[in-house]
Amino acid sequence: MEVLTGWWDDYFWGAVIVAKVFIASLSLMILFGLIGAGAKLSNSRVAQKIAGAYTVIFRGTPEILVILLLYFGSAILLTSIAQIFNPEIKFVDVPPFWAGTIAISIIVGSYATETFRGAFLGVNPGSIEAARALGMSTLQTFIYIRIPEMWRIALPPFGNHMLSLIKDTALISIIGLNETLFVAKQAITVTGKPFTMYIVVGAIYLGFSSVITLAVMAIEKFGNRTTIDAK
């Protein structure tokens, strides 16, 4: 494809940004998911209510709205805070990278909240009782019984959350992050070949999705080795 000559570098760096957003948002998503699940499982009514609202709100609102709100909203918020200290400041620019990363991790974190909660509750109570009956301490039970079983339950939906994250990174181009879609847009204004340029973006994302899918499959196989042996 001749028209692509000269654009590969830009696509490559766009893909690097996608990967960076993915890694940053993955860590935040796990954090939000664990906090949310912890709150839902806690004894505090208030924490339960807040976590409940968190999941309802972000599962019912379009991703693009959340991204736009966080980007423009935080800019206004930060500007007004900054003006308290220095009235001269006209506008504080929020980096789209962080606005977008935080937005998509909050969104997917609301799904992860349910996944982690379900995994915690899905552990066979018989296994826990058996461990306690054998004299294992609470901590030992948690480490040797609960965590491995939770992990096995949570992994398949967690894989889907990772796929959601990687695909949601494309939305961040809307607020001007110079990832692959942004690169394509620039390339189109120069070359006039929109199909070609966007197909490359699609291929890049398909590559990312495939790597994630394969990784999850490999981990799943490793995690399920005990259940397979039993057969």
Q: Answer yes or no whether residue 17 interacts with another protein by CB under 8 A.
A: no
Q: Tell me the number of residues near another protein by CB under 8 A.
A: 43
How far is the C-alpha of 15 from the C-alpha of 209, rounded, in Å? 13
What's the maximum distance between 2 C-alpha atoms anywhere in the chain?
Answer: 72
Q: By CB under 8 A, name the one of 16, 23, 31, 69 that touches another protein.
A: 69
Stretch that binds another protein, among 30-38, 42-50, 68-76, 93-101 (CB under 8 A): 68-76
CB 164 within 8 A of CB 108: yes
Q: By CB under 8 A, name the one of 145, 171, 175, 177 that touches another protein.
A: 171
Q: Answer yes or no whether residue 215 interacts with another protein by CB under 8 A.
A: no
- Phi, psi of 176, deg, nearest 5: 95, 15
How far is the C-alpha of 213 from the C-alpha of 206, rounded, in Å? 10
At CB < 8 A and 24+ separation, what contacts does 135-138 make?
A: none
C-beta of 140: minimal distance to another protein in Å?
A: 36
Q: Please, where are the H alpha helices in the chain? A: 8-41, 45-60, 63-85, 96-122, 125-133, 138-141, 147-168, 180-191, 194-223, 225-229
| Closer by beta carbon to another protein, 6 or else 73 | 73
Angle of CA points 132, 133, 134, to nearest 5°: 90
Stretch that binds another protein, among 6-14, 57-65, 129-137, 143-151 (CB under 8 A): 57-65
Q: Is the dihedral of CA 187, 193, 199, 203 positive or negative?
A: negative
C-beta of 34: minimal distance to another protein in Å?
A: 22
Q: Answer yes or no whether residue 108 interacts with another protein by CB under 8 A.
A: no
| Closer by beta carbon to another protein, 63 or else 149 | 63
Q: Answer yes or no whether residue 112 interacts with another protein by CB under 8 A.
A: no
Q: Answer yes or no whether residue 186 interacts with another protein by CB under 8 A.
A: no
Residues that bind another protein (CB under 8 A): 56-57, 59-66, 68-69, 72-73, 76-77, 80, 163, 167-171, 173-174, 181, 184, 188, 192-199, 201-202, 205-206, 209-210, 213
